[in-house]
Amino acid sequence: MAASAKTFSRGSRAGVLSGGARRGAREGAVLLAFVLVPFAVEMFWTFWPALNSVYISLTRWDGISPPVFVGADNYLRMWSDETFRTALRNTVMWLVLFGGLSVLGGLALALLLDRPRRGVGVYRAVFFLPVVFSMVVSALVWRMIYQPDGLVNGLLTAVGLEDQTRIWLGDSGTALYALILPALWRQVGYIMVLFLAGLKTVDPLLHEAAKTDGATALERFRYITLPQLRPISTVVLAVTVIDALRSFDIVWALTKGGPYHSSELLSTYQFSTGVLGSQLGYGSALAVVIFLLTVATIVVYLVRSLREEETA
């Protein structure tokens, strides 16, 4: 009797549950699909290839016959590879010059255009405009400027500096620097917008108080504006390092790394050897180096700024 009551009650509870459970299970399945489909799609096309790259970097592979495991050979080969050393040096130079100048330029513009004033909106829009263009569009625009009969040489001739004219993109002494200008032209407006957002958080009352206390503009910048910009600076640094180290389009569009590899970056060298060339192993090792360089730069900055915060 008791047993039958038990089974009865259990049965009925199970019956009630199964209605809710069925709905719950369906809802759960929907949720699971909502997360897992996008997650799986992304992981399959990012982490899985990235892991594959690490493995491929330990092999010699022409892309057709099966890969041969060679251990760290590809990495050791970099030491004696003249082009790699040039590309690495250029990449560091690019990081310092392109990164540094875009941050300084963007910060300067943001400071100048921060306070509401007549015409400020127009100036901001002008400096921001190139951000919407592709690097390829900027490249073609600047190619015309750098042509032998282009604007730069035309101006130099006009002011009597004819002996300074040259084929800017075809001269191994100037090609890399000539590439930095169009890249800056397109990047500075973006950094400006980031800093403008950071400056919005600076309390104007602080400046007023400091002014009444007799602080100069420079002192106010050093002791009020800069410390308050710290959070956005971290963001700007990460954006700049990532953008600088993956810079590819502008170089590919204008010089393809030439002449004689003088404007080669690690990204363009990786593309020519690994994707266009048939040295998939070496190309993957170069990709791993680019990845490590990005991570290392950001980690160094984070550690430094953490230490500064501790001492501050």
Partner 1 sequence: MTPTKAARLRPWLFHTAMGTLAALWLLPLALVLVTSLRTFDDLAARGLASLPTGLTFDSYRQALGAGEWRAIGNSLLITVPVVVATLVLASMAAYALARHRIPFRRTLLLLMLAGNLLPAQLLLIPVLKLTERFGVFDSRIGVIVVLTAVGLGFYTFVLHGFMRGIPHEITQAAKIDGATTFGVYLRIVLPLTKPALAALGSLAFTWTFNDLLWAITLLRDETKLPVTPAILGMQGQYFSSWNVIAAATVLAAIPTVIVFLRFQRYFISGLLIGSAK
DSSP state, 246? T
Q: Which stretch binds partner 1 (CB under 8 A): 1-9, 74-82, 84-92, 149-157?
A: 149-157
Q: Which stretch binds partner 1 (CB under 8 A): 10-18, 85-93, 113-121, 205-213?
A: 113-121
Q: 71's torsion region: left (phi>0), alpha (psi -120 to 50) or beta?
A: left
- DSSP per-residue codes, 222-237: IIIIHHHTHHHHHHHH
> Of the two residues 19 and 119, which places its CB atom closer to partner 1 in the complex?
119
Place of tokens 């930095």: 180
Site residues (CB under 8 A) for partner 1, limited to 51-70: 52-53, 56, 63
- Which residue in 12, 13, 27, 208 binds partner 1 (CB under 8 A)? 27
Q: Confirm or reject binding of residue 44 to partner 1 (CB under 8 A).
A: yes
- Which residue in 86, 180, 271, 272 binds partner 1 (CB under 8 A)? 271
Question: CA angle, corner 182, sides to 177 and 183, nearest 5?
Answer: 85
- Which residue in 70, 93, 111, 141 binds partner 1 (CB under 8 A)? 141
Query: Are residues 291 and 274 in contact, defined by beta-carbon separation less than 8 angstroms?
Result: no
- Which residue in 72, 76, 132, 161 binds partner 1 (CB under 8 A)? 132
Show Cβ contacts of residue 101 under 8 Å, excluding neighbours closer than 6 positions: 180, 184
In angstroms, rounded to a whole number, what is the distance separating the alpha carbons of residues 178 and 185?
12
- Which residue in 25, 122, 209, 217 binds partner 1 (CB under 8 A)? 122
Question: What's the one-letter identity of residue 190?
Answer: Y
- Nearest approach in angstroms of CB 223 to partner 1 is 23
- Nearest approach in angstroms of CB 133 to partner 1 is 5
CA 180 distance to own-chain centroid: 15
**Cα distances (angstroms) measured from residue 211 to each of 101, 214, 216:** 30, 5, 7
- Nearest approach in angstroms of CB 105 to partner 1 is 10
Query: Are residues 100 and 240 in contact, defined by beta-carbon separation less than 8 angstroms?
Result: no
* SS3 assignment, position 2: helix
- The interface mask with partner 1, positions 75-104, x = CB under 8 A, is ------------------------------
Site residues (CB under 8 A) for partner 1, limited to 240-259: 242, 245-246, 248-249, 252-253
- Nearest approach in angstroms of CB 7 to partner 1 is 32
Site residues (CB under 8 A) for partner 1, limited to 272-301: 274-275, 280, 283-284, 286-288, 290-291, 294
The token duo for 12 is 């009925």
Site residues (CB under 8 A) for partner 1, limited to 166-205: 185, 190, 193-194, 197
